[in-house]
Amino acid sequence: MPSPRIGSVPMEYATMFRLLIAGALAYVTYRLTRQMIDDVPDTVDPLLLPPSQHDREALRRQSAAIGVDPQR
pLDDT tens digits for range 8-67: 767 788 889 999 999 999 999 999 999 998 988 877 777 776 666 666 677 667 666 676
In a domain, 69, yes or no: no
Q: Into how many domains does the chain fold?
A: 1
In a domain, 67, yes or no: no
Q: Which structural domain range is residue 22 located in?
A: 1-42
In a domain, 19, yes or no: yes
- Give the whole-angstrom CA distance, residue 30 versus residue 19: 16
Q: What pTM, to 2 d.p., does this model score? A: 0.49
- Give the whole-angstrom CA distance, residue 60 versus residue 69: 8
- Give the whole-angstrom CA distance, residue 70 versus residue 60: 6
In a domain, 6, yes or no: yes
Assess whether pLDDT exceeds 70 at residue 70: no
Higher pLDDT among residues 70 and 10, named by residue: 10
In a domain, 20, yes or no: yes
pLDDT value of position 2: 59
In a domain, 58, yes or no: no
pLDDT value of position 50: 67
